[in-house]
Structure 1
Amino acid sequence: MKVTVIGAGNMGSAFVRQLVGAGHQVSVAARDAAKAAQVAAAHPGAVAVPAAGAAQGADVVVVATGYADAVAALRTADVQAGQTVIDITNPLTADYMGLTLGHSTSAAEEIAKAVPQAALVKGFNTVFAAVLAEGADFGSGRKVSVFVASDSAPAKQHATQLATSMGFEVVDAGGLKNARYLEPLAGLNIYLGYGAGLGTAIAPTWLHKG
């Protein structure tokens, strides 16, 4: 698939690494063009593209920015009608120990309202950058789970195919409103990693009997 990653931080770089490794055609864009170029150079096969219009021609767009920057980044990228957008953001407080949204809405739903042409999927928000960069197995003996929630069946299928191609186990988390559960799950994971001192080599998963 043709995938555009918006964001050149730890998560963006980890996505580029895994997507290139899975054989996808990967473009990376960022507000800081020099950082996008550095990420692309570090992962042969990826190309840096301008932030303006970065979504054009992509099968999937991954928004790997902070929540506060996501809407502006997607608007700048010129997301097309029906284009699959994977939102990995979490609406964190300044100290990362809480969420600024919850119960009646979610970051994903607010982004979907602001960029209504996008076929939005919540996904990968429960995966630390260190885990994503290491890969789906990351030495744990079992695959890391990626939870996906969307109101668009085709977009969810795109996200599922992408995650599966990178080796992750996918859990269908239902409609986009269930991002209201996935974002607090990520918040718990962040607390355990940083607040409880477990580190970032952890990830929530879902067990199936039999």
Structure 2
Amino acid sequence: MKVLVIGAGNMGSAFVKQISAAGHEVSVAARDATKVAALAAQYPGVKAVLPASAADGKDVVVLATGYADAVSALQSVGNLQGKVVVDITNPLTADYMGLTLGHSTSASEEIAKAVPGALLVKAFNTLFAQVLAQGATLADGNKATVFYAGDSDAAKQTVKALAESLGFATTDAGGLKNARYLEPLAGLNIYLGYGAGRGTGIAPTWIGA
């Protein structure tokens, strides 16, 4: 796949590492061109690109920014009509211990309203950057699960294929409105990792039938 990663922070860097290692064609864009260039230089074949029109010709756009920057970041990369967009964001409070949205909407649904025509899929939001960077297999030997939710079956299949190419187990979490469940699940994982002191090598995993 031809993949654009928006963001050069911890999650963006982890995506660039894993997606390029899986053999996909990766471009990365962010506001800080120097940071983007340094990230791209770490991995053979990864291209540092300017945001303008960066989404052109890409199969998947991975939104690896914070929720507050999500809409402006997507709007900066060009035409997203019919484009598969992976939303990894969580609408976290300043202390990371709560959510600013829930019950009647979600970060994903609000982003989708702002970028009509994009095929938004919620995914990867329940993973710490450290888990994504080190790979899908957790310390206990289980594979971390990428839960994905969206209203386009074709877009979900693309995201499922991308996640599985990185070695992750996958679970279809239904329509995009079910991001209202996935975002609190990420909040629980953050609490367990930081609030309960279990560290960042953990991830929610679905087992059984």
Q: How many angstroms does 1:143 deviate by?
A: 1.0
Equivalent position amino acid for 1:70 in 2: A
- Tell me by how many angstroms 1:123 deviates: 0.1
- Could you tell me which residue of structure 1 aligns to residue 24 of structure 2? 24
Which letter maps to 1:104? Answer: S
C-alpha contact 2:8 2:39 (8 A) present in aligned 1: yes
CA distance in 2, matches of 1:138, 1:13: 19
Distance 1:18 1:203 in 2: 17
| Aligned residues between the structures | 209
Shift of residue 125 of structure 1?
A: 0.1
> For the residues of structure 1 that align with 2:17 and 2:138, how far apart are their CA atoms?
14
Q: Percent of aligned positions with the same letter in both sequences? A: 70
Partner of 1:163: 163
Structure 2 residue 191 is matched with structure 1 residue 191: yes
Which residue is 1:116 aligned to? 116
Question: Cα deviation per residue 1:54-103 (whole Å; 9 max; x = unaligned)?
Answer: 11111000000000000000000114211000000000000000000000
In structure 1, C-alpha distance between the alignment counterparts of 2:114 and 2:140, rounded to whole Å: 38
Unaligned runs of at least 5 residues, structure 2? none
Q: 1:105 matched to which residue of 2?
A: 105
The TM-score with structure 1 as length reference comes to: 0.98
Question: 1:150-176 CA deviation, whole Å, 9 max, x = no partner?
Answer: 001111011001001000001000000
Measure the CA separation in 2 of the matches of 1:103 and 1:70: 20
Q: Hey, what does 1:145 align to over in structure 2?
A: 145
The one-letter code matched in structure 1 to 2:39 is: V
Distance 2:107 2:47 in 1: 29
Structure 1 residues 138 and 207: CA distance shift in structure 2, 3 A: closer
Evaluate the alpha carbon distance shift between residue 139 and residue 107 of structure 1 in structure 2; reply closer, same or farther with a 3 A threshold: same
Q: Give the Cα–Cα distance (whole angstroms) in 1 for the partners of residues 79 and 165 of structure 2.
A: 23
8 Å CA contact 2:139, 2:201 repeated in 1: no
1:33 is the counterpart of 2:39: no
Structure 1: how far apart are the matches of 2:140 and 2:83? 34
Letter paired with 1:195: G
Distance 1:19 1:79 in 2: 22
> 1: CA distance between counterparts of 2:153 and 2:48?
30
8 Å contact kept, 1:79–1:117: no
TM-score, reference length from structure 2 = 0.98
- Residues 1:92 and 2:65 aligned together: no
Deviation string, structure 1 residues 97-117 (Cα, Å, up to 9, x no partner)? 000000000000000000012
2:39 matched to 1:15? no
Q: Distance in 2 between matches of 1:186 and 1:156?
A: 19
RMSD, matched Cα: 0.8
Write out the 4+ residue segments of structure 1 that deviate beyond 2 Å after TM superposition. none
Q: Which deviations, in whole Å up to 9, do the C-alpha atoms of 1:40-60 show, x marking residues without a partner?
A: 011222110001211111100
Deviations 1:161-202 (A, max 9, x none): 100100000100000000000000000000111111111000
2: distance between equivalents of 1:195 and 1:53? 40
Aligned amino acid, residue 196 of structure 1? A
**Unpaired stretches in structure 1, ≥5 consecutive residues:** none
